[in-house]
A and B are shown apart, each in its own frame.
Chain A
Amino acid sequence: MAKLVFLGRLEDVAGGAERQVAGGSLADVLDALEPDLAAELAADRIRLALNGTLVADRAAVVLAEGDELAFLPPVSGG
């Protein structure tokens, strides 16, 4: 299993801050989610971090056992 982490408002869309999923490519992982959540996660303005490192190429993301993939919406600090 791999872990998805939803930051900011994505937590409300997902109904929780984290979710365990089967591994596979990003497309496979999104396909297994609810369509409205998958659509939000696939938006260009959502950045991704795999095991704490920002993802440059979404198409190259493949989740293996124990991986953590975070979905990062636009930030608003300070």
Chain B
Amino acid sequence: MAADVRLLTASFDPGAELAAFCAGQDAAGGIVSFLGQVRCGEGVEALELRHYEPLTLPGMQALAEEAQRRWPLDGLLILHRSGTMAPGDPIVLVASAARHRRDAFAAAEFAMDHLKSESWFWKREKAAGAWRWIEPRAVDFADLRRWDENAAV
């Protein structure tokens, strides 16, 4: 199964992407999807994600391969925006299809946790007319450590 992994520099339609992904998943018993979007409110006027061409997409592809290695998946979709977005715009869409739901849930969450804190993106927000870089949060690293294969369960 080849994963569909894309780095997008323009807005996308999550509903249409998810419908297209589901259309090819007759063998799957469950499909889990996660959509991340720019929050409305909190004074945020715009959000910008930067990427570094030589690292970002190859890193996303390696992440997809690792998810496929860990769980028996019938399909995997990872879409991530770069560029400037407005409140309400989609940022990231992850979908995983598997014979059984637990594999699909786990693979989608694994992919999201790694996209948040290990993929090559840098984020800044515009509020009150001023841009501010967003540093990673401690909870993002805690989320990531849960997937350490050597950690005690």
**Which residues of A line the B interface, CB within 8 A?**
5, 7-9, 12, 49, 51-52, 54, 68, 70, 72-78
Known: A8-B133, A9-B133, A12-B133. A76 touches B52 (CB 8 A): no
Interchain nearest-CB distance for B136 vs A (Å): 5
Interface size for B (C-beta < 8 A) is: 25
Inside 8 A of B120's CB, which chain A residues have their CB?
72, 75, 77
Q: Counting CB contacts under 8 A, is B104 at the interface?
A: no
B11 an interface residue at 8 Å Cβ cutoff? no
**Which secondary structure characterizes the binding site on chain A?**
loop
B residues less than 8 Å from A51 (CB atoms)? 54
Chain A contacts of B122 at CB under 8 A? Answer: 7-9, 73, 75-76
A72 to B54, CA, bound (A): 12
CA–CA, A76 and B124, complex, Å: 9
8 more CB-based (< 8 A) A-B contacts, given A8-B124, A52-B55: A7-B122, A49-B55, A51-B54, A72-B52, A75-B118, A75-B119, A77-B115, A78-B80
